Amino acid sequence: METLNTEEITIKDIAKVCGVGVSTVSRAINNHPDISPKTKQKIADAIEEYGYIPNNSARNLRRIDGKCIAVVVKGVSNPLFADAVQIMEEEIKKRKYSMVIRYVNFDEQEVDVAIELAKEKKLAGVVFLGGYFVREKKKLQKLRIPFVLSTAGANVDNISAEEYSVFCVDDEKEGYRMTDYLIRLGHKKIAVLSGMPDDASIGKLRLKGYKRALKEHGIAVDEDLILHMKRDIRFYSMENGYQMTQELLTGRKEFTCIFAFSDAMAIGACRAIADAGKKVPDDYSVAGFDGIEMGDYYNPQLTTIKQPIHEIAMESVTMLFEILDKKSENVRRIFSCELLERESTRHRKVL
């Protein structure tokens, strides 16, 4: 039982080696102005030589203002968010803040994570990317620092007015837009791959838009054509889309078209159709939602609703900083999507 381990090197060691006080080393590390170039260099050399790395826990504990923004992403697997994160990182760095990303699973509470992080890192603000904020008001109040809701299912009924800063698309409108488009292509029996049965967020809204479009065109809503995601499969995933489509194909319900509430599910649908020996768009049209990069590369290229993720990301961060600087109150910006008409949809075959 020897103690041959952990001679961890601290700021004191560096100070001792350089024959200076710890505060001088601290100043050197944090680029304070009031330090002579000579001592600063000496300290830098010692740090390099001994491979000293400051302990972040200690720093965070002592620090008042971390100059740090957290981006809390719900759903690692959403490829849409990869771009958003990158843009946010650039914007945050541009303002001399540091950024910390935290990915949370669908079964985790993003607000709890943020609250914990805020304490730990002395955050200046938080960007919530994705996630639903239904019945989270109380929790959000416990988060004492400014935050924005980005690409969140936040135009939900529950979250009204200017309580929060929200940057998102109008899921109802976009659900309508796509459905309307599909109907104009001649489709009447449009199956839909939607969210969870108890979804109260984007899935619910897109579905609402779908139904409204049908009604306006005088088409009855057929509940049998509304499929819900499986709870035990990753949400909005290819596999979930695949499974739902298989059910459709083996069922007795007729349909000519599938509207999936994510591009990933649309791709799953395409594969299921191919596996059944049918063709997209000849036998069935398939449309997605999101505008992920893969939709471009897929064969056939996916017809979809493209979310302006770049603008959303940019605007979210910009506004967060304006709020931090007290230059702005909460705002709520709804972004318009673009309907990309591509290869996976076509006019309904006239028999």
Neighbouring residues of 259: CB distance < 8 A, sequence distance ≥ 6: 178, 179, 182, 190, 191, 192, 193, 210, 287, 289
Q: Count how many Cα atoms sit within 13 Å of the Cα of residue 135 in the half-sphere of its side chain.
A: 3
Distance of alpha carbon 171 from alpha carbon 207, whole angstroms: 9
Please choose which of DNA, a second copy, none residue 328 contacts, taking the beta carbon within 5 to 8 angstroms, the exact cut-off set by kind.
Answer: none
The reply on whether position 216 binds a second copy by CB under 8 A is no
DSSP 236-270: T-HHHHHHHHHHHHHSS---SEEEESSHHHHHHHH
b/e burial code for range 296-315 (CB count within 10 A of at least 16 → b): eebebebbbbbbbbeebbbb
Taking phi over 0 as left and psi of -120 to 50 as alpha, with beta for the rest, 291 belongs to left
Distance of alpha carbon 165 from alpha carbon 114, whole angstroms: 16
Structure tokens at 270: 């395409």
Residue closer to a second copy, measured from CB, 41 or 55: 55
Neighbouring residues of 6: CB distance < 8 A, sequence distance ≥ 6: none
Contact characters 82-101, a second copy, x per CB under 8 A: x------------------x
DSSP 303: B
Residue closer to a second copy, measured from CB, 254 or 293: 293
Residue closer to DNA, measured from CB, 17 or 168: 17
Please choose which of a second copy, DNA, none residue 19 contacts, taking the beta carbon within 5 to 8 angstroms, the exact cut-off set by kind.
Answer: DNA
Please choose which of DNA, a second copy, none residue 24 contacts, taking the beta carbon within 5 to 8 angstroms, the exact cut-off set by kind.
Answer: DNA
Contact characters 141-170, a second copy, x per CB under 8 A: -x-x--------------------------
- Tell me the closest approach of the beta carbon of residue 122 to a second copy, in angstroms: 8
Structure tokens at 254: 């007729």
Among the listed ranges 18-26, 194-202, 224-232, 264-272, the one in contact with a second copy (CB under 8 A) is 264-272
Interacting residue with a second copy among 3, 31, 57, 250 (CB under 8 A): 57
- Tell me the closest approach of the beta carbon of residue 141 to a second copy, in angstroms: 10
Interacting residue with a second copy among 58, 160, 163, 217 (CB under 8 A): 58
- How many Å separate Cα 156 from the centre of its chain? 16
The reply on whether position 274 binds a second copy by CB under 8 A is yes
Residue closer to DNA, measured from CB, 30 or 105: 30
The reply on whether position 238 binds a second copy by CB under 8 A is yes
Residue closer to DNA, measured from CB, 116 or 224: 116
Number of chain positions touching a second copy (CB under 8 A): 39
The reply on whether position 297 binds a second copy by CB under 8 A is yes
Interacting residue with a second copy among 53, 160, 253, 349 (CB under 8 A): 53
Distance of alpha carbon 291 from alpha carbon 307, whole angstroms: 6
Contact 134, 201 (CB under 8 A): yes
The reply on whether position 300 binds a second copy by CB under 8 A is yes
The reply on whether position 294 binds a second copy by CB under 8 A is yes
Binding residues for DNA (CB under 7 A) = 8, 10-12, 19-27, 29-30, 33-36, 38-40, 54-55, 58-59, 61-65
The interaxial angle of helices 171-184 and 202-216, nearest 10 deg, is 40
In order of 38, 157, 261, 290, 306, the CA distances from 296 in angstroms are 56, 33, 17, 12, 11
In 304-349, DSSP assigns E strands to: 304-306, 332-335, 338-340
Residue closer to a second copy, measured from CB, 82 or 340: 82
Residues contributing to the site for a second copy (CB under 8 A): 5-6, 8, 51, 53-58, 60-61, 76-77, 82, 101, 103, 115-116, 119-121, 142, 144, 238-239, 242, 267-268, 270-271, 274, 293-294, 296-300
